[in-house]
Structure 1
């Protein structure tokens, strides 16, 4: 048994410590990133949940998360056979954290974010997929593990940008051709470099050259610059 995963799943104090260390303005993005790890596993994901991501990505809309919470709760009440039910509970917590970050009156319980780590891993356990569990763990610990990256993430939408880069590197770039067999973190060390290029408004050729260099020099994998340009174009459309 993975001791770290077990502790994250069962010890709420660890989840509390992780959450409390997050700056207020990035709490919604962090929570949304954790929730997004289930995108490929949830069939017929209700719009009440998916609509939450656009709210998270725009600070001016965080106030709408209160109503979104109500919609998610109503969906859960009307669909008592929905599985996994913990996923809807997790989405409710994400909505609460997002609204609380707005600073508006009548916030939800201040400890709502303390339970996200534990509940996310409990939700992952439903699917009995070790790669998903690692995905969720990495998302939970992203801000606390990668100290250099902490300085780059300054808004909630930065976490969603991180997610999009992560997905594109894994599904579209994948120079090793392992996205159906290996743990998801294979290319994760490269995300901060691509993220920095996006944040400084670099063009597709600069991004493509970086991807090509990572592929050919860091990994020693042959490939074409044209393919890296196509991946860079997709990244820029995020």
Structure 2
């Protein structure tokens, strides 16, 4: 498969192949991950979109995504000058994919997910930011580099969890305050340990204590345990 950005953006067949390679139970999380790349670039995320994330995170709530799609669509119709409009359209597709994965009746078009990759990359054009383009492309291709995930749901879920922890450490924890000026891999050496704590069912205090030790002893920063507890809560929410 060609994976150059312009191919993914303009060739829906590539988007189709990427989507069809995903296990059904991973599709909402993958779609939500792609959408979430824009969270740090959208000044005021519409409530109808921010409400979609908790639905994605809870399989028992996937059926609610149909109603959430309607809310997102209504927002778009009532705010026709909203920019970037492709971001709203992308959120609609994510809601559709999430509802379809629930197995409920009256599903949306089965090819809704085929357009996510293309539309997400088109949405990045509004921001003209290379970092965002790379973040979006990385999320799109997250499962495409390893075919084993299609037949191994546990491995796919663990891989997604690992990625989400990496995101939280980079975007939310960032004890040095450098996530807008340095390479993306600054904290990646800490991800395996935090991932291991989550898999071992460690509680928020254990995770927070480890984060606090990393930022104060390893990095020499003056972090607070209160902030680390907040980060630990974020991590446990994506478990």
Instruction: Tell me the alpha carbon deviations over residues 70-108 of structure 1, each in whole angstroms, 9 at most, x when there is no partner.
Output: 111111111111110000000000000000000111111
> Is the contact made by 2:165 and 2:195 (CA closer than 8 Å) also made in structure 1?
no
Q: Indicate the residue corresponding to 2:237 in structure 1.
A: none
Aligned partner of 1:233 among 210, 229, 232: 229
State the distance in 1 between where 2:191 and 2:137 align.
17
* Residue 66 (str. 1) matches residue 86 (str. 2): no
* Residue 9 (str. 1) matches residue 5 (str. 2): no
State the distance in 2 between where 1:193 and 1:19 align.
30
* Residue 120 (str. 1) matches residue 120 (str. 2): yes
State the distance in 2 between where 1:167 and 1:154 align.
17
Give me the TM-score of the superposition, normalised by structure 1. Answer: 0.80
Which moves more between the two structures, 115-124 or 162-171? 162-171
Q: Indicate the residue corresponding to 2:92 in structure 1.
A: 92
State the distance in 1 between where 2:144 and 2:189 align.
15
Q: Indicate the residue corresponding to 1:166 in structure 2.
A: 167
State the distance in 2 between where 1:190 and 1:15 align.
32
Q: Indicate the residue corresponding to 1:20 in structure 2.
A: 20
In angstroms, what is the RMSD of aligned CA positions? 3.3
Aligned partner of 2:157 among 154, 157, 160: 154
Q: Indicate the residue corresponding to 1:53 in structure 2.
A: 53
> Please, which runs of 5 or more residues in structure 2 have no aligned partner?
235-239
> Is the contact made by 1:173 and 1:228 (CA closer than 8 Å) also made in structure 2?
no
Deviation at 1:160, TM superposition (A): 7.1
Instruction: Tell me the alpha carbon deviations over residues 27-80 of structure 1, each in whole angstroms, 9 at most, x when there is no partner.
Output: 101100110110111122111111111111111111111111111111111111
Which moves more between the two structures, 187-196 or 101-110? 187-196
State the distance in 2 between where 1:148 and 1:228 align.
40
Q: Indicate the residue corresponding to 1:142 in structure 2.
A: 142
State the distance in 1 between where 2:231 and 2:148 align.
22
Q: Which runs of 4+ in 1 moved over 6 A?
A: 146-150, 210-213, 228-231
State the distance in 2 between where 1:10 and 1:80 align.
24
Number of residue equivalences: 228
- 1:46–1:118: structure 2 CA closer, same or farther, 3 Å change rule? same
Q: Indicate the residue corresponding to 2:80 in structure 1.
A: 80
Task: Look up the SS of the partner of 1:237 in the other structure.
Answer: helix
